[in-house]
Structure 1
């Protein structure tokens, strides 16, 4: 269900997984935070970054290091793959299945 297409800056230096190092910034970083449900302040704390530095990455004037970018994308993919069971109860796509399971 999670999309593997990520719009972000890349570098020419391959990471240990032999792919270009991804660097989140701008709208894509903001989208990732929305999926995670994190505020800018919480994200900066969890990434062990100064809030101003994180704010600049969201504004698109800088970007996150590849290790943090990959970590945030992995967290986002996990949440998209396994949304909250309570969220599923309110999702019309899951309502028919839950009713048939109860009957």
Structure 2
């Protein structure tokens, strides 16, 4: 099983509502449309551990059966749309996005 973990930085407080609306209504549905994606889990961070400030704002955990399945998705129009939307959100809201890939186990 292969997982991609995407970590979003926080938008400005005045942009959070618009960011969340765009994330829920456009970005997450684009991710869910990937034909080989097994699951998508999204997490809005509430606080850091033991009262510390949170190190991130939002996580997305995308799961595929294996790397080949993810690579097939990377060749689809759905992937291109997802990537374009992420770029638009970065530009619109001034956030950063860092993604890493790993195997479960």
> Aligning the two structures, in what range does the TM-score lie when normalised by the shorter sequence?
under 0.3
> Could you tell me the TM-score, scaled by structure 1's length?
0.25
Choose 1 or 2 for highest CA Rg.
1
Structure with bigger RCO (C-alpha 8 Å, 6+ apart): 2
- Structure having the larger proportion of residues in strand: 2
> Could you tell me the TM-score, scaled by structure 2's length?
0.25
